[in-house]
Copies of this chain bind each other. A is one copy, B any other.
Amino acid sequence: MVAFLDVTGMARWVSETGVEHVLADLVARLRADFRRWPEFDKRPRVASHSAVGVIELMPTADRSTYGFKYVNGHPDNPARGLQTVTAFGVLADVASGYPRFLAEMTLLTALRTAATSALAATALARRDCTTMAMVGAGSQAEFQALAFRATLGISTLRVWDTDPRAMAKLRANLAPLGFDVAVCASGAEAVEGADVVTTCTADKTNAAVLTDAMVRPGVHLNAIGGDCPGKTELEATILDRARVFVEHEPQTRIEGEIQQRPADFPVTELWTVLTGAAPGRTSEGDITLFDSVGFAIADFSALCHAYEATRGTGYVSEIDLVAEPADPKDLFSLLAPAMVTV
C-alpha cells in the first residue's frame, strides 16, 4: 500500500503543527539538502506547454529515494474560479522502484516555495531587515510572509497587487496573526523603505512589475514569479546592478529573470553559498537577487519532510495503487478469481 496525504490531511497537519513551525522545519530540511546538492540527480523539468498554460513533471533522486512533482501553471484559471497552480507529488524507493508516498502538493508547493525564499534570504538579505514589500498578493503571499517572519523576523509588510480584493484578502489573513500590513497604491509605493522585495505575480508575459528606479542599494530581491520562458517580472537593467543567485543554473537560464541576459551573465548557485564555497551578501550596499524558478530538489525535500512527519499518524491514509500478486510473476492471478471469458 502507498501512504497518501490528501488535501485535508495536509491542511490539518500544517495547521495543527503550526504553519510557521512547519515553515521553519522546511527551511532546515532544505538547508540540509541544498548543502548536499551534488548527491542529487538534476535535470530540467519536463514541460508541456499549451496556449493557456503549462503542465510540468519535476523528477529528482538521491541514492535511496526518487521523487517527482506534477504541477501546472495556468494564469487565467482564477478568472474562472480555479487556482493558477495545483500540484501533487510522489516518493519512491530507488532500490525497488515501488512508490511509497503520494501527497497533495498545492499547499506543500506554497510552503516549500516560501521556505526556499526564506532560506535564500537568510544567506543574502541584510541582518537588520524589518520590512518586506510584496508585489503580488495571490495564493503564495501569506506563505512568503510567514516564512520571512519565521526566519528573519519580518512582520511589517507593504503590499501591492492590481487586484484590490487580493490585497484585502492578504491583510484579512495576516493582520490577525500580528503582521502590520500596509496596502499601497502602486508598486513604487510598496517598495519605499522595504529591506526585502518579494515579487510574485502570475502574468505570463515579460512584465516589469519592478523597475530599475524602484530598486535601492542594500535591498534583497526575492523574485518568484518569473519562472517560465517568456514570463519575467523585473526590468532587465536591475539584473546588471544585482548579484544574482539561482537554484539550478541550466534551468534558470531558460526560465528565470536571467533569460533577459546573455548565457554568460554571471550567477551563483545558492547551494554553494550555503556550503560556504561562494560568498552571499558581501556588503550593506549589495543588491542581492534570488532569481527563483522552483527546482525539483526543493519539492523532494518538502515531500520527504511531510512523509517523515506524518508517517503513522492519522493525517495519512493508505491507497491501493500498486498491484501485489502473491507470485510476482503471476500478475494475471489478480484477474482470475472473477474472470469472465468472452
Contact = CB atoms under 8 A, between A and B. Distances in A.
Nearest to A139: B331
Given A321-B104, A328-B77, A55 B61 contact: yes
A112 to B, nearest CB: 13
Given A77-B97, A88-B99, 6 more contacts: A17-B340, A19-B339, A88-B322, A107-B334, A107-B335, A139-B328
A77 B97 CA distance: 9
State how many copies of this chain the complex holds: 2
A158 interface: no
A336 B7 contact: no
A166 B83 CA distance: 50
Contact of A332 (B21, B88, B96, B142): B142
A53 B94 CA distance: 8
A59 interface: yes
A233 interface: no
B48 A66 contact: yes
Nearest 7 pairs between A and B by C-beta? Answer: A72-B97, A139-B331, A142-B332, A15-B338, A106-B323, A6-B320, A18-B342
B92 A323 contact: no
Q: How big is the A interface, by class?
A: 35 or more
B173 A330 contact: yes
Most interface-central of A84, A331, A342 (chain B CB within 10 A): A331
Contacts of A319: 4, 6, 319
Given A46-B57, A72-B98, A94-B55, A7 B340 contact: no
A50 B339 contact: no
Given A68-B57, A77-B96, A169-B327, A46 B48 contact: no
A64 B277 CA distance: 47
Contacts of A98: 72, 82, 86
Interface in A128-142: 137-142
A72 B88 contact: no
A95 interface: yes
Interface string A177-203: 110000000000000000000000000
A261 interface: no
Most interface-central of A143, A166, A333 (chain B CB within 10 A): A333
A99 B106 CA distance: 12
Given A61-B55, A83-B328, A173 B333 contact: yes
Contacts of A17: 340
